[in-house]
């Protein structure tokens, strides 16, 4: 925080600081006297300085005043401190802080008026001193509360002053939170508007967006200081912390604060102790009611589960086994959760902090377990859209096998060599899913080759006979037997019968075996790739004569 204290205020501060005789001073008093004298000397310099040099001296005065406060705090811990001396010092701080607060509040109003009446391109420049004044205002309230604490510790009753400070600080914090909320909403609305504009028109809004973001940052810093002070004053700061969380996303400050956790734990402990003392005569009755409610919940859950089991199996619903199991499982869990809450309320436990704690824990767990929640969401999508069911043969998540079980987090797939694989649902849902048993009927695609010398009609007759003799081959759709390609070494046929999905692999393997045996019996060859190589042998004598003739002609 940079000091913006004018010269006459600095002079007033220096004149209000008492001086003490050196021979009667303790070590703390001597330090305080030296700091006071130094501040007075710096204040005299401000009367003739201007520009950057004046700002430097003002900053030095501010730093020395902080040292002065630290010295007062240390002196408070001394066993032999001079009460009268320290009371005068603290009263001086109270007086100067009140003067400074009055000045800061007037400056905030003046600068804000200037911003409202100036062009947009001047807003950011005027915003710099305004933001510093806002932070200074929040810090001064914190210092003033510390002053009242010091005076209370020194024996002066400050109840009235602290109550007045509570009222003022609460109003200022609420106004700051409202201003922060306005800036957030204004920025969101402006960004939504900018997104619909052409690229060449977006630059005109950059200044306004930058101004709003600076406002958000500054209001957040000011509100954070006020929240810390208000919390020490035992004010309700839940709404303010929520506003800070929305603006900054600072989970550590808002949710993981040790003071908040400690306060919650102490509050729950006090409530439990008070409940035990005041309700001990009814403890046995409440315990009986707790057991009774949970027993009733067990009976109700079994009844509901039996009814749902019949309902989910209704043919017109067409629910998969996975969805049926999910509905049955969740129904039981929901009934028990509701029964548990009712039973806890019956025994006199206040559920408000419990539910609030669960909400906070839910936020923390949500951030910590993002991947798990992704798997959970994917599991819900698998249950809703039902790309496969238990027992289906699938190729999903780069894994092929039979689906054994699907939970909300992962899917269990058993491979054909009897390995059990747990595949995360997010990996399955984000990749291609091939369900080989989804349809009740499948086509078997086979390719067979014969040599160029063999009879094509004879081969076709063999294929037709093999398929007609296999009872597993369906008549409709009719099988397809066609000559497909003339390859390098063979004449290739496509043979495509339709079968029930359960018979797919058996028909494919049995048909391939039967074709080989029938081809062998009928003398039809299944060719393999071959090449004809032609060699041309040159007569060595001719080569020699050629060389000799070539030499002679050269000569």
Residue-level pLDDT at 330: 76
pLDDT digits (tens, 9 = 90+) for 325-339: 777 777 877 888 888
Say what percent of the chain tops pLDDT 70: 76
CATH-assigned architecture of domain 387-435: Roll (2.30)
Does the domain made of 441-522 have the CATH classification 3.30.70.100? yes
Residue-level pLDDT at 431: 87
- Comparing 221 with 76, the larger pLDDT belongs to 221
As beta bridge partners, residue 229 has: none
* Residue-range domain boundaries for the chain: 27-271, 387-435, 441-522
* C-alpha 206, offset from chain centre: 28
Residue-level pLDDT at 42: 75
My answer on whether omega of the bond before 512 falls inside 30° of 0, hence cis, is: no
Q: Is the pTM of this model over 0.75?
A: no
Lowest mean per-residue pLDDT among 94-108, 160-174, 255-269: 255-269
- Comparing 416 with 265, the larger pLDDT belongs to 416
Q: What number is the average pLDDT over the span 71-76? A: 78
Residue-level pLDDT at 461: 93
As a whole number of angstroms, the distance between CA 467 and CA 521 comes to 17
Residue-level pLDDT at 7: 42
One-character DSSP codes across 227-281? HHHHHHTT---HHHHHHHHHHH--HHHHTS-HHHHHHHHHHHHHHHHHHHHHSGG
- Comparing 551 with 111, the larger pLDDT belongs to 111
Most confidently modeled of 164-168, 235-239, 475-479? 475-479
Confidence of residue 450 (pLDDT cuts 50, 70, 90): very high
- Average pLDDT score over the chain: 77
One-character DSSP codes across 397-434? TTEEEEEEEE-SSEEEEE-TTS-EEEEEHHHHHTS--E
pLDDT digits (tens, 9 = 90+) for 286-317: 778 788 888 888 888 888 878 877 777 777 76
The terminus-to-terminus CA distance of the chain in angstroms comes to: 107
Confidence of residue 363 (pLDDT cuts 50, 70, 90): low
- Comparing 248 with 554, the larger pLDDT belongs to 248
Reply yes or no on whether the pLDDT at 281 is more than 90. Answer: no
Residue-level pLDDT at 24: 45
Q: What number is the average pLDDT over the span 397-417? A: 85
Residue-level pLDDT at 314: 73
């Amino acid at each position: 925080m940079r000091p913006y204290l004018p010269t006459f205020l600095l002079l007033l501060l220096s004149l209000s600081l008492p001086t003490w005789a050196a021979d009667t001073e303790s070590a703390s008093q001597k330090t305080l006297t030296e700091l006071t004298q130094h501040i007075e000397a710096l204040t005299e310099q401000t009367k003739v300085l201007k520009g950057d040099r004046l700002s430097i001296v003002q900053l030095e005065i501010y730093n020395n005043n902080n040292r002065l406060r630290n010295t007062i705090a240390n002196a408070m811990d001394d066993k032999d401190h001079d009460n009268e001396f320290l009371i005068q010092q603290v009263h001086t701080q109270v007086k100067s802080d009140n003067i400074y607060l009055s000045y800061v509040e007037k400056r905030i109003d003046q600068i804000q008026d200037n911003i409202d009446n100036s062009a947009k391109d001047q807003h950011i420049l005027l915003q710099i001193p305004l933001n510093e004044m806002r932070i200074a205002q929040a810090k001064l309230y914190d210092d003033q509360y510390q002053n009242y604490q010091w005076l209370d510790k020194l024996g002066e009753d400050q109840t009235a002053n602290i109550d007045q400070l509570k009222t003022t600080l609460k109003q200022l914090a609420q106004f700051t939170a409202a201003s922060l909320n306005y800036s957030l909403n204004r920025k969101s609305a402006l960004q939504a508007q900018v997104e619909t504009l052409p690229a060449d028109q977006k630059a005109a809004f950059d200044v306004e967006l930058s101004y709003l973001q600076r406002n958000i940052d500054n209001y957040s810093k000011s509100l954070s200081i006020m929240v810390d002070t208000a919390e020490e004053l035992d004010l309700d700061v839940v709404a303010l912390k929520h506003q800070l969380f929305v603006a900054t996303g600072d989970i550590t400050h808002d949710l993981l604060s040790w003071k908040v956790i400690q306060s919650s734990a102490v509050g729950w402990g006090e409530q439990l102790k008070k409940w035990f003392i005041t309700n001990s005569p009814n403890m046995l009755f409440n315990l009986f009611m707790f057991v009774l409610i949970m027993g009733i919940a067990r009976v109700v859950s079994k009844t509901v589960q039996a009814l749902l089991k019949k309902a989910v199996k209704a043919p017109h619903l067409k629910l998969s086994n996975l969805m049926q199991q999910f509905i049955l499982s969740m129904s039981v869990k929901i009934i028990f959760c509701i029964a548990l809450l009712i039973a806890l309320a019956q025994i006199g436990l206040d559920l408000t902090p419990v539910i609030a704690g669960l909400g906070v824990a839910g936020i923390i767990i949500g951030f910590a377990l993002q991947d798990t929640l992704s798997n959970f969401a994917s599991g819900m999508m698998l249950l809703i859209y039902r790309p496969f069911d238990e027992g289906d043969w699938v190729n999903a998540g780069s894994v092929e096998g039979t689906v054994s079980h699907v939970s909300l987090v992962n899917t269990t797939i058993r491979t054909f060599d009897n390995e059990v694989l747990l595949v995360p649902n997010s990996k399955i849902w984000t990749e291609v899913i091939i369900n080989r048993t989804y349809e009740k009927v499948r086509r078997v695609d086979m390719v067979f080759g014969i040599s160029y010398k063999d009879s094509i009609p004879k081969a076709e007759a063999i294929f037709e006979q093999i398929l007609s003799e296999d009872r597993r081959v369906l008549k409709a759709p009719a099988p397809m037997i066609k000559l497909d390609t003339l390859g390098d070494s063979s004449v290739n046929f496509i043979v495509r019968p339709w079968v029930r999905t359960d018979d797919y692999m058996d028909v494919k393997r049995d048909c391939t075996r039967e074709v080989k045996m029938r081809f062998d019996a009928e003398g039809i060859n299944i060719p393999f790739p071959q090449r004809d190589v032609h060699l041309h042998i040159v007569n060595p004598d001719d080569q020699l004569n050629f060389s000799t003739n070539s030499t002679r002609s050269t000569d």
